[in-house]
Amino acid sequence: MNAFTFTPENEAKFLALLERYLQKSSLTLPSLWMVQYQEGWISTEAMKYLAQKLDCSPMDIYSVASFYTMFNLKPVGKYHIQLCKTLSCMLRGSEQMSHHLEKKLGIKVGETTKDMKFTLTHVECLGSCGTAPCMSLNDDYVENLTLEKLDDIIDGLKS
């Protein structure tokens, strides 16, 4: 038996989406997103569940899920900080922001704090180069970053 099933809301969304695509396979990415919002990450059980729903093998789902960097194949912290490291952000001080975050959170880039509160990742250009440096905090962008801004945000989330 699968440990994962869609919530009734996601199931309804899934059925509505079926109407909008020519073939079921197009629902792979939308379904992975629904799983990730439901569970915070994408487990093997969830992939097996999706394979059944989309008439393909679990390996097909894994192959797609692992191709796209935004799908978490292991749990991440409650607050996922994704700092842009690409050129325009580097020119505007992203390296300094990165060091500051590592020090402040006591973890290295790519790690999660022991209490599962924060994950720090480096990502490539977020499309906010004009308001660099930039990061995304869960689903929200924080732009024109400064050390003070970072302190305010992290202190706020810690307390």
Partner 1 sequence: MIVKIVSKNFEIPNAHRLEVARANGRYTSLSKLFSMTPNAVICEVEQSLLRGKGGGGALTGEKWRLIPTDGDKPSYLVVNADESEPGTFKDRQILEFDPHLLIEGIICSSYAINAHHAYIYIRGEYVFWAKRMQEAIDEAYKEGILGASVLDSGYALHVTLHRGGGAYICGEKTALLESLEGKRGHPRLKPRGKEPEWFFGNPTIVNNVETIASVPFIITEGFGAYLAYGTEQSPGTMLFGISGHVERPGVYELPYGVKLIDVIEKTCGGIKDGKKLKAIIPGGSSCQILRADEIENITLDYESLKKHGSALGTGGIIVMDESVSIPKAMKNLFEFYHHESCGQCTPCREGTGWVDNILGKILEGKGTPQDMQTILDACDMLNGKTICVFAPSVAFIAQSYIEKFKEEFEALIH
Q: CA-CA distance, 62 to 66, in Å (whole number)?
A: 6
Strands 118-123 and 140-142: unpaired
Q: Which is nearer to partner 1, 91 or 157 (CB)?
A: 91
- Separation in Å, CA 80 to CA 2, 8, 10, 74, 121: 27, 27, 23, 13, 8
Q: What would the two tokens of residue 128 be?
A: 């906010």
Considering only 129, 137, 142, 147, the residue that binds ligand FES (CB under 6 A) is: 129
Q: Please tell me whether residue 80 adopts helix, strand or coil conformation.
A: strand
Considering only 35, 105, 120, 126, the residue that binds partner 1 (CB under 8 A) is: 126
Q: Does 95 bind ligand FES (CB under 6 A)?
A: no
Q: Which does 30 bind (CB under 5 to 8 A by kind): partner 1, ligand FES, none?
A: partner 1
Residues contributing to the site for partner 1 (CB under 8 A): 20-30, 32-33, 54, 63-64, 67-71, 85-88, 90-92, 123-132, 136, 139-141
Residues contributing to the site for ligand FES (CB under 6 A): 84, 86-89, 125-129, 132, 134
